[in-house]
């Protein structure tokens, strides 16, 4: 399709495979600018279209979207994207360039073919700005070495990660002594006695202080009251600090259906969530504890020896460790100890990879998702949208400890969730700050 001269002002964005696998509808998110898909990207997507992981879903959905958008047009020609404010797209076949990335880097790779596509557009689309968009940092660096503009895919990315530090717990100084005394005496007070007419974060947690005393409190938006928060024992696991106390309160609070717990290794995220789930086991049909599998060295688990159970056990072992820790709070003869074994045997308590949980109906379930920072925003949304009646979901993780290659602290699903649902009455967030695993573990977190 011929292009109007005025279209010279539009930028051309070249999308890498990693962007499509992150979000299949990414092609629609470049405003009035144009989008180019190198044929190499379609070839790579063809390898991802089979399977049940999110990346397989994204690959299939993108191929369907491209087919729908192209209609009767040849995809190597400029084709309009939907909407009057959108630009055009095309698929670029492997071009012949004077400058060849395969020769420059001394190796023939798909990444270099994608770079060649950007180089070709830079040479043929004179006067237009060509930008390579990739979640792959190394590919972006290679592009810049060839004088090609390169950037990350920004849609859904948290603009300021530091803002997430301001959610969850708040310390209020110089609180009237009478308000603190009333909280101790009557367990709850009207919020205006402390905050006046100020707007307060839903399900926010507070440390109220004055020179003589302090108290832990929770704001119930439904009642517009501050409630005193005491340390609650859950299956013999007792919170060891204020943040853990707040986290346990959120886990046990039936009004809160969605909880995120952020914190470094050893702060007790998974342990508290599992203990809280066991404490409420009678209120739910099942307890699911799941985590995404992030293969070592980016190799699929198929490379590991043994049957499927043997392959998955190393990834699930940390979750079993937490369960064994809780169980060992009791003697083998205690009914609590035996109850955990019974729950596992009857599949009332299930520990599985997240891929095995996906697609199931989540009604009457207490669902804990561990290592949620290794999920994409789409994966987090998929999990939550499957929640049925009487389901509670806890996401735990550390947004600064990413194990997947194309996510970072600003683009992972846990950060996205914390940012997007803050202040919702069904949601509570707590950041655990102090390591409680051991003094040795604290030494590593603080000094290494």
| Residue 88 within any structural domain of the chain | yes
Same domain, residue pair 167 and 262: no
- pLDDT band for position 310 (50/70/90)? low
Q: Three-state SS string across 64-101, please?
A: HHHHHHHCCCCCCCCEECCCCCCCEEEEECCCCCCCCH
| Residue 238 within any structural domain of the chain | no
- pLDDT band for position 100 (50/70/90)? confident
Domain end residue (candidates: 95, 129, 152): 152
Same domain, residue pair 350 and 430: yes
Same domain, residue pair 283 and 134: no
Please check the confidence at residue 335 and state whether its pLDDT lies above 60: yes
Q: State the Cα–Cα distance between residues 133 and 14, nearest whole angstrom.
A: 6
| pTM score | 0.83
Query: Side-chain half-sphere of 112: how many Cα atoms within 13 Å?
Result: 13
Same domain, residue pair 214 and 360: no
Same domain, residue pair 339 and 306: yes
- pLDDT band for position 85 (50/70/90)? confident
pLDDT of residue 315: 67
Kindly state the average pLDDT of the residues 29-45. Answer: 94
Kindly state the average pLDDT of the residues 400-423. Answer: 89
| Residue 236 within any structural domain of the chain | no
Q: State the Cα–Cα distance between residues 367 and 130, nearest whole angstrom.
A: 45
Domains in the chain: how many in total? 3
| Residue 224 within any structural domain of the chain | yes
Kindly state the average pLDDT of the residues 304-322. Answer: 64
Same domain, residue pair 289 and 311: yes
- In order of 222, 325, 340, the CA distances from 349 in angstroms are 32, 15, 8
Same domain, residue pair 102 and 40: yes
Cα 97 to chain center, whole Å? 40
Please check the confidence at residue 2 and state whether its pLDDT lies above 90: no
| Residue 1 within any structural domain of the chain | no
Same domain, residue pair 164 and 145: no
107: domain CATH number is: 3.40.50.1010
C-beta of residue 418 within 8 angstroms of C-beta of residue 167: yes
Same domain, residue pair 270 and 389: yes
pLDDT of residue 73: 84
219: domain CATH number is: 2.30.130
- In order of 225, 240, 272, 341, the CA distances from 243 in angstroms are 20, 8, 11, 30
DSSP 107: S
Q: State the Cα–Cα distance between residues 352 and 359, nearest whole angstrom.
A: 14
Least confident of 133-142, 243-252, 309-318, 333-342: 309-318
Portion of the chain with pLDDT greater than 70, in percent: 90
Q: Three-state SS string across 42-53, please?
A: HHHHHHHCCCCC
Domain end residue (candidates: 230, 262, 277): 230
Kindly state the average pLDDT of the residues 70-86. Answer: 84
Least confident of 10-14, 295-299, 414-418: 295-299
Please check the confidence at residue 300 and state whether its pLDDT lies above 60: no
Average pLDDT score over the chain? 86
Domain enclosing residue 426, as ranges: 243-447
């Amino acid at each position: 399709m011929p292009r109007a001269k005025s279209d010279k002002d539009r930028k051309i964005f070249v999308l890498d495979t990693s962007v499509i696998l992150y979000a299949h509808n990414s092609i629609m998110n470049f405003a009035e600018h144009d989008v180019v898909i190198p044929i190499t990207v379609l070839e790579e997507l063809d390898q991802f279209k089979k399977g049940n992981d999110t990346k397989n879903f994204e690959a299939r959905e993108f191929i369907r979207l491209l087919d729908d958008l192209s209609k009767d047009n040849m995809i190597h020609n400029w084709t309009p994207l939907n909407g009057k404010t959108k630009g055009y797209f095309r698929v670029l076949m492997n071009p012949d360039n004077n400058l060849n990335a395969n020769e420059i880097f001394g190796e023939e790779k798909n990444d270099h073919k994608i770079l060649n596509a950007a180089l070709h557009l830079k040479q043929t689309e004179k006067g237009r700005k060509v930008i390579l968009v990739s979640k792959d940092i190394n590919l972006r660096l290679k592009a810049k070495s060839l004088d090609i503009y390169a950037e990350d895919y920004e849609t859904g990315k948290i603009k300021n990660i530091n803002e997430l530090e301001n959610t969850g717990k708040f310390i209020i100084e110089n609180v009237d002594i009478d308000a603190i005394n009333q909280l101790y005496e009557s367990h709850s007070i009207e919020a205006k006695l402390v905050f006046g007419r100020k707007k307060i974060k839903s399900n926010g947690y507070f440390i109220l202080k004055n020179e003589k005393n302090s108290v832990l409190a929770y704001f119930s938006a439904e009642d517009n009251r501050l409630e005193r928060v005491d340390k609650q024992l859950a299956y013999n696991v007792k919170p060891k600090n204020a943040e853990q106390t707040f986290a346990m309160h959120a886990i046990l609070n039936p009004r809160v259906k969605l909880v995120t717990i952020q914190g470094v290794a050893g702060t007790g995220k998974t342990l508290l969530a599992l203990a809280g789930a066991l404490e409420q086991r009678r209120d739910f049909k099942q307890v699911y504890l799941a985590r995404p599998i992030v293969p070592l060295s980016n190799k699929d688990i198929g490379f590991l020896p043994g049957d499927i159970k043997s392959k998955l056990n190393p990834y699930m072992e940390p979750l079993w460790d937490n369960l064994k820790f809780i169980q060992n709070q009791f003697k083998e003869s205690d009914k609590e100890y035996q109850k955990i074994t019974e729950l596992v045997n009857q599949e009332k308590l299930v520990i599985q990879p997240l891929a095995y949980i996906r697609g199931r109906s989540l009604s009457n379930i207490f669902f804990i998702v561990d290592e949620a920072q290794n999920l994409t925003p789409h994966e987090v949304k998929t999990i939550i949208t499957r929640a049925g009646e009487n389901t509670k979901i806890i996401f735990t993780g550390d947004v600064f400890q990413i194990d997947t290659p194309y996510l970072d602290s600003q683009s992972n699903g846990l950060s996205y969730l914390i940012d997007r649902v803050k202040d919702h009455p069904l949601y509570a967030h707590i950041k655990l700050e102090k390591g409680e695993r051991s003094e040795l573990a604290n030494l590593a977190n603080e000094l290494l």
